[in-house]
């Protein structure tokens, strides 16, 4: 079920009504309702993959119980290994099997050996990368004794499959989300209103910004040889907004929906395109994944404790693994490696923690220097996004080479019109994002606006845009494929 | 919880008013790129505006024609007039049975025709009716019966178009009249559109595979049942298309079989051998004026109308 579909618009109020009006005073029944709703939500795509979630849930639930009952280090390690092997094994099979086979065959062919290895026609279960990491965090945190195991299977299963963030995050830590299933939740009007506001903004990002960019971007990227340099550059910039609108839009809807049910999820995007350097960008982009890798990979690898070169090595590992997490393609690995290269000078000069606050804090406008830094950082990300979006590394390089021809814009006539509309929409979008940059999401600033008329006008414009740009059958979110 | 619902309700009401205004203004003054879901082909193609305006001034006619572009480009009132019959053509772009039924029920009493011709072809039953719904909603003076047609099409953009049509009807109507000639199409009184000076013969096959939509067939049968019920004479006609197009209409046999199984006889003029693809058509499925004359004269003979 897509968030941006009529199905979800019917599903959400039904679950909300049952949750607060029918099962209001019964925590276990509320959790059971969430579990059932989550399985319905996920099964809407393909019910067969529910068995995978259920299997993963049972494995980690049992591992959690066993870990809590033994002090034997060997057994504890074995239990953790089982959890990691099962979870990453499933992820590896469904997501990376064909990639490894093809790479293996290609590698041998370089030396003149022709291998006959067959790839499989594997369907990638939606959201497997997200819930796998979420359940892994549970096993690892229990192993590290950061939290207590969950006795309540329904609560645990609800945590694993919590429908707002099941298929595209934020990747929640068990330490944050699981306890919320164990405690009674009460309805907070302000929190719920903020949730509605965040859902509205998320829908705007996805339906209006991302999907409108996609129409132009898809056409140009699939025939990039036919376009001039400036057009390709415009397409790359639009893709930057598409992926941001798509992914952060999903996160906003997920977080907003959770708030309606009394849950708090972590912030996943903090206005990354207002970053002044690439390190700041990575503190603001897909925060739940970046911090997951920091806590469960970077720090166990030694983090920054083993000297500068260890730090450089670990940074590269993190970025490349992060790229590979996105998909079984060399383009994602190149994207990760390129970001690591961007990051390297800041790391070596010790300037990677220079910009920790928000840009132009307590000011309306940024300084010229800040504008320059923001634009330069954005440009770096745009170049990296070309790898992310292209079908192959060769295509990405060819695309970037063509950009350097710097010829004029040559959109098709229809795209030219769309581009004009998109410029107006992006201006509105960036203004709201800039205005609300010190909050959790752009539109949250409305909570602090005292002029009701202004609020009504802005909300109305957003609702109007949603009505006009909504694709009724829903359009898939990019991150579903990851 | 009360505070939550109260605030939501207040904003729903306030925003509701503003969103309606924005929809109305954008529908009237902005181009389609600013409102991709709101389709308002007002005076845009097929002369539906002129046709629906003219039909309101008619009272008694002999022949009423319904159908898609094969209808409004294929049945010329001037040729019927020569034989003493007054014809009005209520065909419209991509019309399907959903729209035909609306037009029939809306105008049959006022027009009181001697015979109704329903121009059918497989495409008539194969479209979902959205395009034609937008066309009629944009060009027809609003009335609540349009809601029935919209609900049959049952898609989000058609509801949006209906909503716009309703709100737009509250404001004064646009007074700019539709031109009589657009590109190389000329509107002829009586609802006909003549292709003047056609460009090169267009032999692009415009459709992919398609199949009859069951609901459209049911709607058609409901319409003919209604005609029988009120004692109205009607004919189901299949106007000529090019031989190539006819052959490629793989479901023409399905259409005839389904209609004939339900007691509807189809007068198929594609067996009419005097027409040739290059001489009598301007594209694969529309007659040129020479073709229209030949077809209409033959049709009048076949119908053997007695409207006195």
User: A138-149: per-residue pLDDT in tens?
Assistant: 999 999 999 888
Domains, in order of start, for chain B:
37-303 (3.40.50.1110)
- In chain A, domain spans: 6-186, 190-276+355-481
Find, in chain A, the residue whose alpha carbon is nearest to that of B23. A464
For chains A and B, CB pairs below 8 A equal: 58
Which three-class secondary structure string do you get for chain A?
CCCCCHHHHHHHHHHHHHHHHHCCCCHHHHHHHHHHHHHHHHHHHHHHHHHHHHHHHHHHHHHHHHHHHCCCHHHHHHHHHHHHHHHHHHHHHHHHHHHHHHHHHHHHHHCCCCCCCCCCCCCCCCCHHHHHHHHHHHHHHHHCCCCCCCCCHHHHHHHHHCHHHCCCCCCCCHHHHHHHHHCCCCCCHHHHHHHHHHHHHHHHHHHHHHHHHHHHHHHHHHCHHHCCHHHHHHHHHHHHHHHHHHHHHHHHHHHHHHHHCCCCCCCCCCCHHHCCCHHHHHHHCCHHHHHHHHHHHHCCCCCCCCCHHHHHHHHHHHHHHHHHHHCCCHHHHHHHHHHHHHHHHHHHCCCCCCCCCCCCCCCCCCCHHHHHHHHHHHHHHHHHHHHHHCCCHHHHHHHHHHHCCCCCCCCCHHHHHHHHHHHHHHHHHHHHHHHCCCCCCHHHHHHHCCCHHHHHHHHHHHHHHHHHHCCCCCCCCHHHHC
Q: Are B206 and B85 in contact (CB under 8 A)?
A: no
The answer on pLDDT for A123 being more than 90 is: no
Average pLDDT over residues A132-161: 92
Average pLDDT over residues A91-120: 73
The residues pairing with A5 across neighbouring beta strands, listed in sequence order, are: none
Task: Tell me the C-alpha to C-alpha distance, in Å, between residue B270 and each of B61, B124, B212, B248, B287.
Answer: 27, 16, 19, 13, 12
Residues of A with CB under 8 A from a CB of B: 6, 20, 187, 189, 192-193, 196, 417-418, 420-421, 452, 455-457, 459-461, 463-464, 467-470, 472
Q: What is the pLDDT of residue A130?
A: 87
Q: pTM for this one?
A: 0.87
Q: What is the pLDDT of residue A153?
A: 95
Q: A89-93, A458-462, B235-239 — which is least confidently predicted?
A: A89-93
A124 vs A136: CA distance, rounded Å: 19
- Chain A contact probe: residue of B37, B153, B167 with most A CBs at under 10 A: B37
Q: pLDDT confidence of B243, banded at 50, 70, 90?
A: confident
Mutual angle of helices A452-469 and B2-29, in 10-degree steps: 60
Residues of B with CB under 8 A from a CB of A: 1, 3-4, 7-8, 11, 14-15, 18-19, 22-23, 26, 31, 33-38, 155-157, 160
Average pLDDT over residues A103-107: 73
Residue B184 is classified by DSSP as T
Average pLDDT over residues A53-65: 93
Find, in chain B, the residue whose alpha carbon is nearest to that of A467. B37
Average pLDDT over residues A424-452: 93
pLDDT averaged over every residue in chain B: 88
User: Which tops the pLDDT comparison, B109 or B171?
Assistant: B109
Give the whole-number percent of chain A exceeding pLDDT 70: 94
Yes or no, beta carbons of A189 and B7 under 8 Å apart = yes
Nearest to A255 by CA among A183, A190, A170: A170
Task: Give the burial class of B227: count Cβ atoms within 10 A of its Cβ; 0-12 exposed, 13-18 middle, 19 or more buried.
Answer: middle
Q: What is the pLDDT of residue A93?
A: 84
Q: pLDDT confidence of A419, banded at 50, 70, 90?
A: confident
End-to-end CA distance of chain A: 16
Average pLDDT over residues B102-131: 92
Q: A418-422, B143-147, B244-248, B284-288 — which is least confidently predicted?
A: B244-248
The answer on pLDDT for A412 being more than 90 is: no
Q: Which residues of A touch B29 (CB under 8 A)?
A: none
Residues in chain B: 308
Q: What is the pLDDT of residue B122?
A: 84
Ranges A269-278, B191-200, B296-305, most confident: A269-278
Q: A27-31, A239-243, A352-356 — which is least confidently predicted?
A: A352-356
Q: How far apart are the CA of B16 and the nearest CA of chain A, in angstroms?
A: 7
Q: What is the pLDDT of residue A228?
A: 84
Chain-centroid distance, C-alpha A345: 26
Q: What is the pLDDT of residue A119?
A: 63
Q: What is the pLDDT of residue B203?
A: 67
Active site residues of A: 326
The answer on pLDDT for A414 being more than 70 is: no
Q: What is the pLDDT of residue A413?
A: 59
The answer on pLDDT for A25 being more than 90 is: no
Tokens of A476: 């898939």
Mutual angle of helices A452-469 and A413-435, in 10-degree steps: 150
Q: Which residues of B touch A452 (CB under 8 A)?
A: 14
**Beta-carbon contacts of residue B41 (< 8 Å; ≥ 6 apart):** B48, B134, B135, B138, B139
Q: Which of B1, B4, B36 sits opposite A468 (nearest CB)?
A: B36
User: A339-364: per-residue pLDDT in tens?
Assistant: 999 999 998 888 888 888 898 888 98
The answer on pLDDT for A482 being more than 60 is: no
Q: Which regions of chain B does DSSP assign to beta strands (E)?
A: 63-66, 87-89, 115-119, 181-182, 185-188, 192-195, 233-238, 266-268
User: B11-39: per-residue pLDDT in tens?
Assistant: 999 999 999 999 999 988 888 888 999 99
Q: DSSP states of B49-66 as a string?
A: HHHHHHHTT----SEEEE
Q: How far apart are the CA of B34 and the nearest CA of chain A, in angstroms?
A: 6
Q: What is the pLDDT of residue B283?
A: 85
Q: pLDDT confidence of A475, banded at 50, 70, 90?
A: low
Q: Are B112 and B104 in contact (CB under 8 A)?
A: no
User: B187-198: per-residue pLDDT in tens?
Assistant: 999 999 998 876
The answer on pLDDT for B209 being more than 70 is: no
- Chain B contact probe: residue of A460, A469, A473, A475 with most B CBs at under 10 A: A460
User: A293-312: per-residue pLDDT in tens?
Assistant: 999 998 888 877 878 888 88
User: Which tops the pLDDT comparison, A478 or A354?
Assistant: A354
Q: How far apart are the CA of B138 and the nearest CA of chain A, in angstroms?
A: 17
B60 vs A110: CA distance, rounded Å: 84
Q: What is the pLDDT of residue B304?
A: 86
Residue B198 is classified by DSSP as -
Find, in chain A, the residue whose alpha carbon is nearest to that of B7. A193
Find, in chain B, the residue whose alpha carbon is nearest to that of A17. B1
pLDDT averaged over every residue in chain A: 89
The answer on pLDDT for B237 being more than 90 is: yes
Give the whole-number percent of chain A exceeding pLDDT 90: 61
């Amino acid at each position: 079920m897509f968030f941006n579909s009529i199905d979800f618009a019917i599903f959400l109020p039904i679950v909300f009504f049952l949750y607060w009006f029918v099962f209001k005073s019964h925590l276990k029944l509320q959790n059971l309702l969430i579990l059932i709703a989550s399985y319905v939500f996920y099964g809407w795509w393909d019910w067969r993959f529910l068995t995978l979630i259920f299997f993963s849930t049972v494995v980690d639930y049992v591992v959690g119980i066993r870990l809590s009952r033994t002090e034997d280090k060997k057994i504890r390690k074995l239990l953790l290994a089982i959890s990691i092997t099962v979870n990453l094994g499933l992820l590896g099979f469904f997501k990376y099997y064909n990639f490894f086979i093809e790479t293996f065959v290609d590698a041998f062919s370089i030396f003149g050996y022709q291998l006959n290895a067959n790839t499989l026609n594997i369907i990638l279960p939606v959201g497997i990368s997200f819930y796998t990491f979420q359940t892994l965090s549970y096993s690892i945190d229990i192993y590290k004794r950061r939290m207590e195991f969950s006795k309540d299977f329904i609560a645990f299963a609800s945590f694993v499959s919590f429908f707002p963030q099941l298929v595209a995050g934020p990747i929640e830590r068990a330490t944050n989300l699981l306890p919320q299933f164990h405690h009674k939740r009460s309805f907070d009007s302000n929190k719920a209103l903020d949730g509605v506001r965040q859902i509205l903004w998320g829908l705007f990002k996805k339906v209006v910004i991302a999907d409108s960019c996609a129409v132009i971007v898809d056409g140009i990227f699939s025939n990039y040889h036919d376009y001039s340099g400036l057009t390709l550059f415009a397409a790359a910039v639009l893709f930057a907004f598409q992926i941001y609108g798509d992914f952060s839009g999903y996160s906003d809807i997920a977080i907003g929906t959770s708030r309606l049910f009394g849950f708090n999820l972590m912030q996943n995007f903090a206005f990354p395109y207002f970053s002044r350097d690439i390190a700041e960008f990575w503190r603001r982009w897909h925060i739940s994944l970046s911090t997951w890798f920091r806590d469960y990979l970077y720090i166990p690898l030694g983090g920054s404790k083993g000297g500068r070169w260890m730090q450089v090595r670990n940074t590269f590992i993190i970025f490349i693994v992060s790229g590979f997490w996105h998909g079984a393609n060399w383009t994602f690995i190149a994207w990760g490696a390129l970001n690591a290269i961007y990051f390297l000078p800041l790391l070596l000069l010790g300037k990677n923690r220079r910009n920790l606050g928000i840009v132009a804090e307590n000011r309306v406008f940024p300084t010229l220097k800040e504008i320059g830094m923001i634009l330069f950082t954005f440009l770096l990300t745009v170049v990296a996004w070309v790898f992310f979006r292209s079908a192959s590394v060769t295509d990405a390089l060819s695309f970037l080479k063509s950009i350097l021809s710097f010829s004029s814009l040559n959109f098709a006539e229809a795209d030219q019109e769309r581009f004009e509309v998109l410029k107006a929409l992006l201006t509105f979008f960036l203004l709201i994002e800039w205005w609300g940059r010190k909050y959790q999401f752009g539109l949250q600033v409305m909570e602090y606006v005292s002029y009701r008329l202004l609020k009504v006008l802005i909300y109305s414009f957003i609702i109007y845009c949603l009505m006009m740009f909504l694709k009724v059958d829903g359009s898939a979110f990019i991150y579903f494929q990851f | 919880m009360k505070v939550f619902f109260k605030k939501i309700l207040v904003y729903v009401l306030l925003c509701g008013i503003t969103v309606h205004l924005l929809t109305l203004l954008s529908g009237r003054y902005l181009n389609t790129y600013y409102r991709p879901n709101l389709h308002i082909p007002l005076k845009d193609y097929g002369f539906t505006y002129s046709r629906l305006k003219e039909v309101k001034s008619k009272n008694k006619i002999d022949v009423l024609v319904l159908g898609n572009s094969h209808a409004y480009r294929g049945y010329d009132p001037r040729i019927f007039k020569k034989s003493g019959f007054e014809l009005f053509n209520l065909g419209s772009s991509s019309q399907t049975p959903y729209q035909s039924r609306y037009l029939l029920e809306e105008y049959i009493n006022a027009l009181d025709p001697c015979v109704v011709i329903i121009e059918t072809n497989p495409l008539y039953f194969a479209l979902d009716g959205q395009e034609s719904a937008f066309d009629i909603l944009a060009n027809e003076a609003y009335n609540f019966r349009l809601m029935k047609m919209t609900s049959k099409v049952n898609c989000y953009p058609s509801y949006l178009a209906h909503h716009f049509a309703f709100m737009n009807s509250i404001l004064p109507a646009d007074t700019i009249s539709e031109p009589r000639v657009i590109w190389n199409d000329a509107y002829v009184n009586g609802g006909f559109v003549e292709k003047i000076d056609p460009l090169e013969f267009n032999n692009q096959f415009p459709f992919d595979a398609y199949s009859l939509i069951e609901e459209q067939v049911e709607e058609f049968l409901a319409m003919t049942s209604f005609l029988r019920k009120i004692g109205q004479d009607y004919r189901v006609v299949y106007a000529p298309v090019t031989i190539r197009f006819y052959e490629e209409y793989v479901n023409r046999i399905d259409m005839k079989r389904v209609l004939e199984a339900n007691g509807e006889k189809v007068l198929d003029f594609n067996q009419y051998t005097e027409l040739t693809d290059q001489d009598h058509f301007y594209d694969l499925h529309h007659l040129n004026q020479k073709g229209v004359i030949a077809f209409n004269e033959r049709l009048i003979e076949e119908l053997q109308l007695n409207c006195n």
